[in-house]
Amino acid sequence: MRSTANALGNSGLELPRAGYLKRMKAYLAEMYPLPSRLALAALTYFGVVSFLGRIHGVSKFTSPYFAFVGIASLFFLMLIIRLMDELKDKEIDRALFPHRPLPSGRIFEADIAATIVVVSCIYLLTNLIAGSFWIAFFILGYACLMFKHFFIPELLRKNLLLTVATHNPLVALMLLYVLALFFSVAPVPLERIDWQSILLLILMNWATVLAWEIARKIRCQEEESAYVTYSLIFGRRGAVLVALGIQTVTFFIGLYFAWMLSLSPLFVVLWSAAYAVPVAAYGRFLLRPTPVTSKLGPYAEAYMVAVLAIQTVENMFLA
């Protein structure tokens, strides 16, 4: 125990002090609200597996046990990534976002490091019991590479596009994880697997996260600072067009599935209404770029959640 304390001290980390649980509770409420993140994990799992079931004509596409494993694993992964980002970006946050929990001293580095270890162990143990250990281990390993900036930190810190190109594929890996859980339960012979539709499904859901990543880093001129944004790289209009273009990919893939799988008219109506929300937000920002209208991240996130929710409702309740 003493050697562990010395190791943490030598690394510049403080050991968790009394009040760790209280600090973590406050941190999670601010940076990772548990109810909404658990709901997002559930929507991701059920949205993807229900669509996979519809594509392959399988009515029993999951089980309560594997649903628990899938939702818990997605929830834990998102939490691990959030915590790793706190440590990875601590210098940037200290300089540009001093009000956040870590730079303001409301939580300690050792709190975050200890939580990462505990949550990672629970995540791996859950998948070891479920028989999905190796794919879960691989995804966690990729997250660790992200945490280490793929061992090229200086290059990534200077290049936002390279950063998103190396970090965003984690979303596709998480979707592939859900795919693996689906096929471990669903009775689909290998020769009946529709790989083209699977790739489109992954792209459809992956694109919403990529668009959100871009939209949340768009600013109006008066907000720009030393923090690198996509509006600095592409210009205000260019960044908006990139985010909108990626979301448009999701929109048209969904319409393709509606035609191919004979989905309900309600799916098309809801799908189109969801797409109209970020389009309207982008239009308002381009016409009147202010610090108020530049908050595009919430609209992109709402579209991401809506896409998952519509998939779930259509394929679980309207099929």
According to the model, what pLDDT value does residue 147 have?
Answer: 93
pLDDT single digits (tens) 32-76: 999 999 999 999 999 999 999 999 988 776 788 889 999 999 999
Average pLDDT of the residues in 185-196: 88
Q: Which domains, and CATH codes, for the chain?
A: 1-192 (1.10.357.140), 194-319 (1.20.120)
pLDDT single digits (tens) 98-122: 999 999 999 999 999 999 999 999 9
pLDDT single digits (tens) 234-255: 999 999 999 999 999 999 999 9
According to the model, what pLDDT value does residue 118 have?
Answer: 96
Query: What is this structure's pTM?
Result: 0.89
Average pLDDT of the residues in 289-313: 96
pLDDT single digits (tens) 152-187: 888 888 899 999 999 999 999 999 999 999 998 888
Alpha-carbon distance of 16 to 31, in angstroms, equals: 19
pLDDT single digits (tens) 4-14: 334 334 444 44
